[in-house]
Amino acid sequence: MKKWTIDSPDQKTVDMLHRRSDLSALCCNVLASRGCTDIEQAVKQMGCASLSDPFLLTDMQMAADTINAAIDNGDRICIYGDYDCDGIMATVILYTFLYEIGADVTWRIPERSEGYGLNENAVREMHADGVQLIVTVDNGISAIREAELIKELGMTLVITDHHQPGDTLPSATAVVDAHRVDNTSPFRLYCGAGIALLLVAALNDGDTTMAIEQAGDIAAIATVADIVSLQGENRYLVQEGLRLLENTERVGLRALREVSGLAEKPMTAEGIAFGIAPRINAAGRLASPRLAAQLLLEEKMSRARELAEQLNRINNDRKSTEMQIINDILSQLDADSQPLHERLLIFVGEGWHPGVIGIVAIRLQERYGKPCFIISTKDGMGHGSARGFGEFSVYDCLSACGDLFEKYGGHPGAGGFTIKEEKISAFRQRAAEYAAAHHSEMPLPELRADCVLCPEFLTVEEISSLSQLEPFGTDNLSPVFLAENAVIKSIIPLSGGTHTKLNVEVCGCSCDALLFGKSPESTGLHPGDVCHMMVKLSVRHFRGLDGISLLVQDYRLSGMKQSKILSAMQTYDHYRRNEPLPAAHYRAICPTREECAAVWQALPTQGITPETLAVRLYPHINYCKMRICLDIFAELGIARITDGEMLVQRVSGVKKVALQDSHILQELALRVKEESVI
């Protein structure tokens, strides 16, 4: 269950923004809730109209001079990229420009098996190929040893990157990275392709308009795909890129839009994030990133369609591989679910595809609301990927265990590492100790609403106006609103019960509320229930008419107390970890016979999620006590908990059992009786 935070924008600020702009009241509420206190801030956040002078980036002039000199001398140049979407796009941006102005240029993107960034073998192969100048894009800032080798071999190195530099910069003719401490540019949050675009502008006397017209479409894709901030210059870059994508001349992108189902739809940042980017990234994850680069460089539509279809198949394979790993983990959890109640989720599997374990970590973090570490082992070595959120820092956790790794890296939200298989057990223990020492209670996933909905917001005009705040992404999330006391009038299955449509009355308005990925039965809701809902707003077009839809992100029965629910969930985790609890807690969580009976009566044979069951039992039985009842039933063999504790159901056809035979109940009763702490 997520922690809800409801913002309450200052009404005077909202009125001032509304009065001094042509923005709708709904947009002004969103801006005010996100910290805009005056019209100048709103203009700055929404109104960037150009990229800054590329020569303000430290070493950009030297980089441009070095490359231009190599072109004039007829030197062979190699653009060295990275295997993710950002690196592929950056490679294509710079290669295309240099090729079209007549440079002797080639490109190279390492396979995932080679590892991230420059490596000795690649450097020597480029040297053997006659390369005299290497230009990195989206990598290179940590290539200390490789830079020395390049110098020893008599080649020249120009680095362009956007990752955080270390204390020592590589020895290169130019190191262009907006995160350098001595950087003078006003904006620092570009992705690798954004830096490559600015380099193209610098190579043409700083003409950013030309650079955007030539490569803004693919720079926008990279900016969205790399999850960098969509404020300031990145916002402008994506806006311009989306405009160009609508009529792009790149046959590869047109073919990719077709296979992604986006050919007839307006291009949005969301379309990039969920349609275009995954197919490009899939090439580097499961096959070769060269396929994606070749697609973007292709000039014949027939061949572009072949490559796009190939990427689509690889992306489907990626989804299948991802689900296989998740199913392996769920099987582990069905055998022993204790890892779910640790502060960190750490899962290990033999031969899991290293190209998708990062996505699996994201999926399981979202599913269980805890930082997640996935380790794939092969030939005695483990390759890991981790994802975190909130105040928990993945990088700090890895650093605390740094002596166990062959190598590691990352940032607060994500990281990667290599570890010998025999050290994984020690890593589990050390990571758990780090989490316990720094977080007595782990951070909870949060869902934030910009404001509470009121009747005047629920019009087609107001909701349509939210498009003025696009593109949505990191640091400019799609707005979420709290719909209070929504009365459920009817519950309708969609797509054979895969999704659910609720007809609700909220703020005096009748509208549809859509729950994707939830069947009507799994909602735990009934007509007449009154709910609070966290929703996004959309306008639907049907048979020539416009209507309003609420896209439900989360919901609760009205009256459910968040603090009590979250506290009960945390108490259950403490209990499962066998951590000391105050004596009063044991009395509060030990179920009576009558409470066990109430949980049993609410438990259906076809199965239900614990969270949905908690909704049905609210307010009579708290979450922790309900979960303990389910554990007792599972112990006695009359209930089954599966799907990684996401499904619980009665076991049909079993004989009656005696509750007093439960060791769980016996131990709790003993602790209550002794009023002691273990």
Query: For 369-373, which contacts have Cβ atoms below 8 Å and span 24 or more sequence positions?
Result: 369/1, 369/2, 369/444, 369/445, 370/343, 370/344, 370/345, 370/442, 371/344, 371/345, 371/397, 371/435, 371/442, 372/344, 372/345, 372/346, 372/347, 373/344, 373/345, 373/346, 373/347, 373/431
- Phi, psi (degrees; rounded to nearest 5) at 489: -95, -40
Task: Say whether pTM exceeds 0.85.
Answer: yes
Q: How far apart are the first and last CA of the chain?
A: 28
**Tens digit of each residue's pLDDT (9 = 90 or more) over 137-157:** 999 998 999 999 999 999 999
Going by DSSP bridges, is the β-strand pair 345-350/381-387 parallel, antiparallel, or unpaired? Answer: unpaired
678: pLDDT strictly greater than 50: no
Contact by Cβ (8 Å): 145, 173: no
Q: What is the pLDDT of residue 618?
A: 83
Chain center to CA of 654: 43
327: pLDDT strictly greater than 60: yes
100 Cβ contact partners less than 8 Å away, ≥ 6 residues apart = none
- Phi, psi (degrees; rounded to nearest 5) at 233: -65, -30
Percent of the chain with pLDDT over 70: 99
Angle at 608 between CA 606 and CA 612, to 5 degrees: 150
438 Cβ contact partners less than 8 Å away, ≥ 6 residues apart = 392, 396
Cβ-in-10-Å burial (0-12, 13-18, 19+) of 593 comes to exposed
Q: Which residues pair with 405 in a beta bridge?
A: 419
Residue type, position 275, single letter: G
**Domains of the chain as residue ranges with CATH:** 3-45+448-557 (2.40.50.460), 54-243 (3.90.1640.30), 247-326 (no CATH), 344-427 (3.10.310.30), 562-674 (1.10.10)
330 Cβ contact partners less than 8 Å away, ≥ 6 residues apart = 643, 644
Q: What is the pLDDT of residue 435?
A: 97
Does a cis peptide bond (omega within 30 degrees of 0) precede residue 289?
Answer: no
Task: Return the top range by mean pLDDT from 161-170, 187-196, 517-526.
Answer: 187-196
Q: Which residues pair with 511 in a beta bridge?
A: 504
Q: Which residues pair with 569 in a beta bridge?
A: none
- Residue 105 parent element (H or E): strand 104-108
| pLDDT band, very low/low/confident/very high, at 346 (cuts 50, 70, 90) | very high
Mean pLDDT value of segment 448-459:
95
- Residue 511 parent element (H or E): strand 509-515
269: pLDDT strictly greater than 90: yes
